[in-house]
Structure 1
């Protein structure tokens, strides 16, 4: 039904007042205040922040946080058989032990490990990709690609059960956790030296250039080997999974990573939730856009500004009847999704994690799940409730429009040297 003005007392939808901080304060900071430039971050990386032997209070906390998960951190290498007699090229990155399933140990990492360079939608065939895993005890074992998802760029590699490898538990953080910058540590294990690596930095209020709205940014100046590794804070909380871009260090928030792992365990794939909506968090918007919103309606404490809505694409009607029945209950571009089922929204990552959880229910019941959204419309000051249907994303046009397109820089490649040396060398130059 179309939205109408509501006379309800606004305090009924003000649960966000209970948040420990007002995200609007951070909305109105300049970009330079929330996240340093790449040059500034690189300069900062040269000081004691990246020194694992830093014995300051913060340095010791960072080191202890890394050591707390070190036995679960592994190095992975995917050797791709070369063509025309070329030696196999090997991409190395980091993974984390996340589960023991029957006779196998699961390692969560980035799908970058097996992606074809320059092709966003393809991975190397298992027959030409040899995956090896370096454990914390220097033991190297063979790995098998079990599952992957190119939407969120995550993958699970399976190895024979290793009882001495502790599992890292992925737990959701408080919804407002990312509203203020906090010190974090990126973790990796390097195949060549077999050593644990760490890079310190801070989370910051900015968006990634990669086409994935859920991604957030840290100032940790990492190298390729950190891809797929953990980002943790100084209280030993898991913050997310690291990726790499030309000038920034994006990471996938832990609640999305946790949702992906839940789907892998239950469905052996990620069942992509479909709302037909994409948007950005208010606290990362430009000041000019925020000013327009503030002039037209009382300042929202938090929410997702809708910047894309796709409903009933004509070309899909003949083949995707579910898509034609899907509706956003009057939600339009420019609206603000303030709450879902009474939970205040702070970021696209939080929204995606909620939808992934709802998708589990939808698959179990074999029918769409309805969630109630509280929506603000800055254009005319209207507020209304909308019943949004969560269903599995249809293939075809919808899928292509909303699919995350990862454009990753050319990674460093490693090559095996003669077998008698048995060492790794970087010949990427």
Structure 2
């Protein structure tokens, strides 16, 4: 059965169902009028759902549909829109470096995502992608090294891939595959630092679907807001991507590499290119990403509440830097005298304007000090707005395993039914022009569905 992109904006006639109505109605599988399962239909569903790793529905109902699938593509670009034409040309310029990957346990698919070819030798090519590709399904803090990885190339061919390096803190992985002369490595060093100096930067997120091999692109701008994901080094764009775009590149209109995309319901988080480059260098130098622990959670000043900004402006009108959102008890930062609400303006005498600059400098210092076996003291210049007080402190960082500190959830694939548009986690149906596959009633002719495929 094809995975189709249709245009419905609601699940059933008469509009959506409210949370109150939903709460008062029984589950579909418990209703007395639930239609009986049809053995042939159930077998067909099992053949098509299980190899993709998707759940079976509780029952069979006309209009039910599967949401948050890996087959859902980005929104279609208008062929007559000048801006969309630029987006498509930009996507085409890097298309020979964009692949899709899938991991399998036996014959069952576990995850799919996008990857970017970032390096090559005469015999192999390296693909930068998301570590979600190889995480254990029952314990996301561990890697399942028994998974088989398949790579769909830009020409549609599928070849095996092998995991080389990964980092669970940043959720990145590098997969190696056989070299092909017709495909080239993307220039990820042609990058732009994403910061407050580029508030209106136009960005393009690119992905490739695994089953169809379709190249996808969508545009947006840089957002100065925090993401729901744990990793504090992430930035956010307004590009709306689907799960298939996880691990794909984010590039500027000038062709510059901005970062790698992840998926969330509050915008598209991305790991900035400067941090990705440092991680790849750590892979080559240390075999892993060496992440010192300072015991701080920091954020951009631009993302703080107005009251916080007013308090800072009253004490230090021309202040810049990064905001301390949390100090962990017993941490190196706590021992240095740091407190929540402090503003760090310099790190080792280098002025700071964003949290990403802070983390990049930390990784820079890690490269030099770890190679010489030295300790890692960081000198910070601090403003304390409440007391109009400024001071310097030394934070003696510790190198610890931070791989389990960040969670990287992705939207779950699930079935929804005509009377079940909402659940406790929020809306399940997105009002976009290319929603997920809507499963037909068992009475509908499946051959008719095949003929309607675009």
Q: One fold, TM greater than 0.5? A: yes
Matching of residue 106 in structure 1 with residue 106 in structure 2: no
Equivalent pair of 1:91/1:412 in contact (CA under 8 Å):
no
Shift of 1:74: 0.6
- Residue 92 in structure 1 maps to residue 112 in structure 2: yes
Report the counterpart of residue 40 of structure 2 in structure 1. Answer: none
1:287 aligns with 2:306: yes
Gap change, CA 1:170 and 1:369, over 3 Å in 2 = farther
Aligned partners of 1:165 and 1:107: how far apart in 2? 12
In structure 2, do the counterparts of structure 1 residues 384 and 50 end up closer, same or farther at CA, with 3 Å as the change threshold? farther
> Would the alpha carbon gap of residues 210 and 352 (structure 1) be closer, same or farther in structure 2, given more than 3 Å must change?
same
**Gapped regions of structure 2 (runs ≥ 5):** 1-73, 416-435, 440-454
Q: Tell me, yes or no, if structure 1 residue 255 matches structure 2 residue 274.
A: yes
CA displacement at 1:79 relative to structure 2: 1.4
Counterpart contact for 1:73–1:95, Cα < 8 Å: yes
Post-superposition CA distance 1:208-227 (Å, at most 9, x none): 01111111221212111100
Aligned residues: 345
The TM-score, its normalising length taken from structure 1, stands at 0.73
1:274 aligns with 2:293: yes
Aligned to 2:165: 147
Q: CA deviation at 1:147?
A: 1.4
Give me the whole-angstrom Cα distance separating, in 1, the residues matched to 2:312 and 2:138: 39
More helix by share: 1
1:240 lines up with 2:262 in the alignment: no
Structure 1 residue 180 corresponds to structure 2 residue 199: yes
Contact kept? 1:93, 1:225, Cα under 8 Å: yes
Per-residue CA deviations over 1:202-254 (Å, capped at 9, x if unaligned) read 22121101111111221212111100000111111111111112343211111
CA distance in 2, matches of 1:412, 1:144: 30
Query: Over residues 145-176 of structure 1, what are the superposed CA-to-partner deviations in whole Å (9 max), with x where a residue is unaligned?
Result: 11111111111111123343322233353463
Instruction: Tell me the residue number matched to 2:345.
Output: 338
What TM-score, normalized by structure 2, do the two folds share?
A: 0.69
User: Within 2, Cα distance between the matches of 1:190 and 1:49?
Assistant: 13
Answer 1 or 2: higher relative contact order, Cα 8 Å, separation at least 6.
2
Choose the corresponding residue for 1:77, options 102, 105, 109.
Answer: 102
Is the contact between residue 49 and residue 201 of structure 1 (CA under 8 Å) also seen in structure 2? Answer: no
For residue 193 of structure 1, report the CA deviation from its aligned partner. 2.0
Q: Give the distance between the partners of 1:218 and 1:54, measured in 2 at CA.
A: 24
Map 1:26-425; keep pairs closer than 5 Å.
50-51=76-77, 53-56=79-82, 58-81=83-106, 87-101=107-121, 103-117=123-137, 119-124=139-144, 126-127=145-146, 129-171=147-189, 172-174=191-193, 176=195, 179-295=198-314, 297-310=315-328, 312=330, 329-392=336-399, 394-395=400-401, 399=402, 403-410=405-412
Structure 1 residues 247 and 386: alpha-carbon distance in aligned structure 2, compared to 1, 3 A threshold: closer
Deviation at 1:412, TM superposition (A): 8.1
More displaced 10-residue stretch of structure 1: 69-78 or 371-380: 371-380
1:390 offset after TM fit, Å? 4.1
Secondary structure of the corresponding residue to residue 91 of structure 1:
strand
Q: Is the 8 A contact 1:181 1:205 kept in 2?
A: no
Residue 138 of structure 1, CA deviation:
2.2
The RMSD of aligned alpha carbons is 2.8
* Map of 1:8 onto structure 2: none
Cα distance change, pair 198–178 in 1 and its aligned pair in 2 (3 A) = farther
Structure 1 unmatched runs, 5+ = 1-47, 82-86, 314-322, 414-425
Q: Distance in 1 between matches of 2:153 and 2:335?
A: 47
